[in-house]
Amino acid sequence: MTNPDYRNLFISSFPLILGLIGFFGGLYYFRNARKIFERQKRRFSRSLKELTDQLEHSEKERTKFASMLNHMSEGLIAVDTHKNVIAINPSAEKMFHRSTGSSLGKSLLQIVQNSTVEKMADDVMENQSLIKREISRTLPELQFFDVTVIGTQKSQGDVCAILVFQDVTRIRRLESHRREFVANVSHELKTPLTSIQGFIETLLGGTLKDTEKSESFLKIMEEDSKRLSRLVVDLLDLSKIESHELLLKPVPLQLAELVQQVLKLFELQILQKKIRVENKIPSRLPPLSADPDKIKQLLVNLIDNAVKFNQEGGKIILYAENVAGKIKVCIQDTGIGIPENDIGRIFERFFCVDKARSREAGGTGLGLSIAKHIIEAHGGALSCQSELGKGSTFTFTLQA
Nearest Cα to Cα of residue 267 among 228, 304, 220, 221: 304
**Cα 93 from chain centre:** 19
**Cβ distance to Mg ion smaller for residue 75 or 367:** 367
What is the SS3 assignment for 224? helix
> Is there a contact between 383 and 343 (Cβ–Cβ < 8 Å)?
no
Cα distances (Å, whole numbers) of residue 187 to 184, 227, 231, 332: 5, 13, 11, 32
- Tell me how far apart the alpha carbons of residues 12 and 35 are, in angstroms, rounded to a whole number: 36
Choose which of 368, 375, 382, 398 interacts with ligand ATP (CB under 6 A).
368
Cα distances (Å, whole numbers) of residue 74 to 93, 115, 149: 11, 20, 13
* Dihedral pair phi/psi, residue 98, rounded to 5°: -110, 145
Instruction: Establish if 397 lies at the interface with Mg ion (CB under 5 A).
Output: no
Mark residues 320-349: x for contact with ligand ATP by CB under 6 A, - for none.
-------------x-xxxx-------x---
> Is there a contact between 81 and 125 (Cβ–Cβ < 8 Å)?
yes
Instruction: Pick the stretch among 14-22, 119-127, 209-217, 364-372 that binds Mg ion (CB under 5 A).
Output: 364-372
Instruction: Pick the stretch among 179-187, 203-211, 249-257, 367-375 that binds Mg ion (CB under 5 A).
Output: 367-375
Instruction: Establish if 352 lies at the interface with ligand ATP (CB under 6 A).
Output: yes
Choose which of 117, 149, 290, 353 interacts with ligand ATP (CB under 6 A).
353
The nearest distance, CB 364 to Mg ion, in angstroms, is 8
**Cβ distance to ligand ATP smaller for residue 318 or 352:** 352
> With CB cut-offs between 5 and 8 Å by kind, which of ligand ATP, Mg ion, none does residue 346 bind?
ligand ATP
Instruction: Establish if 392 lies at the interface with ligand ATP (CB under 6 A).
Output: yes
Burial group, residue 229, by CB count within 10 angstroms (0-12, 13-18, 19+): exposed
> With CB cut-offs between 5 and 8 Å by kind, which of ligand ATP, Mg ion, none does residue 364 bind?
ligand ATP
Query: Binding to ligand ATP (CB under 6 A): which residues in 276-305?
Result: 301, 305
> Is there a contact between 394 and 302 (Cβ–Cβ < 8 Å)?
yes
Q: What SS3 string covers 173-214?
A: HHHHHHHHHHHHHHHHHHHHHHHHHHHHHHHHCCHHHCHHHH
> Is there a contact between 85 and 78 (Cβ–Cβ < 8 Å)?
yes
Instruction: Pick the stretch among 17-25, 133-141, 184-192, 301-309 that binds Mg ion (CB under 5 A).
Output: 301-309
**Cβ distance to ligand ATP smaller for residue 125 or 368:** 368
Residues 6+ apart with CB under 8 A from 142: 136, 169
Size of the residue set binding ligand ATP (CB under 6 A): 23
Instruction: Establish if 144 lies at the interface with ligand ATP (CB under 6 A).
Output: no
Nearest Cα to Cα of residue 384 among 368, 363, 370: 368
Choose which of 335, 337, 367, 391 interacts with Mg ion (CB under 5 A).
367
**Cβ distance to Mg ion smaller for residue 151 or 367:** 367
**Cα 158 from chain centre:** 36
- Tell me how far apart the alpha carbons of residues 303 and 292 are, in angstroms, rounded to a whole number: 16
The nearest distance, CB 266 to ligand ATP, in angstroms, is 13
**Cβ distance to Mg ion smaller for residue 159 or 263:** 263
The nearest distance, CB 330 to ligand ATP, in angstroms, is 12
Instruction: Pick the stretch among 15-23, 197-205, 236-244, 362-370 that binds ligand ATP (CB under 6 A).
Output: 362-370
Instruction: Establish if 151 lies at the interface with Mg ion (CB under 5 A).
Output: no
Interface contacts to Mg ion, rule CB under 5 A = 305, 367
Interface contacts to ligand ATP, rule CB under 6 A = 301, 305-306, 309, 333, 335-338, 346, 351-354, 358, 363-369, 392
